[in-house]
Structure 1
């Protein structure tokens, strides 16, 4: 792990994410970058030299100017706080759409991990627009850890990896294996059996043992858990074993396919209290 990105909006959840990312950066001796995106009002346009011009009232322009200056001061203060840390720390302010800014920064710094706060969303809000966190989870090229509560790396000793252990799972397990090694954690592999997606236990165990052998996994255990749905089963099993983190792969569907099929990973990110590690199939 060489580079960690933290999208930061000054919320308490973002602060929890930053604290966790600091501990990861110290353990891995890697770069840590914090990015803050300032959303430009929808009544914007660009002048001939590319500057953003607000068409709102004079009061709105003053408010935006003051907010930008305040954020610059806050970011500078954060840089000062991290000056003597055992990792390289930097900050950046972007303007515009939050998801687009975060995605651009992931690519620019070739991030190996994104750690971000999440408030979760549900119901109509989730159906219509989702959250920036959901979009990053769905489309990020690197693993994403979402955080809702304070968590420290020394407390992450049991990671639940929920999967069907198909070929797609093999595309993300090596990244999760690196995290497991960094944390010295046990990996609990769980197959969720549901009425609509039932698999014989003997078949499941055979596939899981083959998965362990093929990927040279150690400090690992396997479990088959029955539930009404995949999402419920993952959350219930994590509660049952008092897991410290949930890990999943996500298909990264967009548009109509996402609207029709949804994403179990995004649903778990929204509902889980525990931190959730996700990675899109490559």
Structure 2
């Protein structure tokens, strides 16, 4: 792990993310890319008259000063921090910054969301999770333990989950984490017998790694929703983190089908890390 991106909006939640990034950066000798998205209208950015240009420069300089002051933290002294300011348009730009700088991880603070706001507005964190090609770690509070010794990886063991699975185990091997895999069986048309699930898991590991070494770390549980099953299992296990693949659905597909990864990231109190399918 060489580079960690932390989007900063000056809130306490983005500071939770920054503190978590510092702990990981110190442990892995990584650089932190502190990213501030400056919201400025297209009119102001493209205007040719002098007054609008002066306004744009004023707001840019103001943001730079505020950002510089925000980064004057005692806990940042022994860490390499590179500040980046981008003009706000869409939150897919966070992914663009990550790819351009070859970052390994995005860490975001989130207060979560619920009810109507979650469906119609969502959160900036959701948008980043939805668009990111690299793992996104979502934190809700100060993370005191970044060893992440026990990680719950939620998986349906479909073939499309092989890529995020391989990315996840590669990262967790570096972190020294013990990974527990959980499959949630639902009491509806998607219900599967234990034999059916086991056959799917065998096929999954055979195609992913050509061995069944991790079979003993797979747990099958039943619950009314996938989200509840994941959260209940993580709490029972005493996990330090939840990992989950996410489709990154957009538009109507996201509205009607939703994303389990985003739901878990919204509602879990534990740190949640997502991997793009």
Q: What secondary structure, in the 3-state scheme, does the structure 2 residue paired with 1:279 have?
A: strand
- Find the counterpart in structure 2 of residue 15 from structure 1: 15
| Mapped partners of 1:208, 1:76: distance in 2 | 46
Does the CA contact (< 8 Å) of 2:9 and 2:36 recur in 1?
Answer: yes
| Mapped partners of 1:73, 1:247: distance in 2 | 33
| Mapped partners of 1:132, 1:121: distance in 2 | 11
Q: Does 1:201 align with 2:197?
A: no
Gap change, CA 1:153 and 1:168, over 3 Å in 2: farther
| Mapped partners of 1:191, 1:258: distance in 2 | 22
Q: Does 1:280 align with 2:273?
A: no
Gap change, CA 1:97 and 1:161, over 3 Å in 2: same
CA offset digits 1:232-280 (Å, max 9, x no partner): 1111111121211111111111111111211111111111111111011
- Find the counterpart in structure 1 of residue 39 from structure 2: 39
> What does 1:22-101 correspond to in 2, within 5 Å?
22-40=22-40, 44=44, 46-48=46-48, 64=59, 67-68=62-63, 70-75=65-70, 77-78=72-73, 82-85=76-79, 88-97=80-89, 99-101=91-93
- Find the counterpart in structure 1 of residue 236 from structure 2: 240
Gap change, CA 1:74 and 1:164, over 3 Å in 2: same
- Find the counterpart in structure 2 of residue 223 from structure 1: 219
Aligned length: 273
TM-score in terms of structure 1 length = 0.84
Q: CA RMSD in A?
A: 3.0
Q: What secondary structure, in the 3-state scheme, does the structure 1 residue paired with 2:262 have?
A: helix
Q: Does 1:5 align with 2:5?
A: yes
Does the CA contact (< 8 Å) of 1:37 and 1:98 recur in 2?
Answer: no
Q: What secondary structure, in the 3-state scheme, does the structure 2 residue paired with 1:171 have?
A: helix
**Structure 2: unaligned runs, 5 residues or longer:** none
**Structure 1: unaligned runs, 5 residues or longer:** 56-60
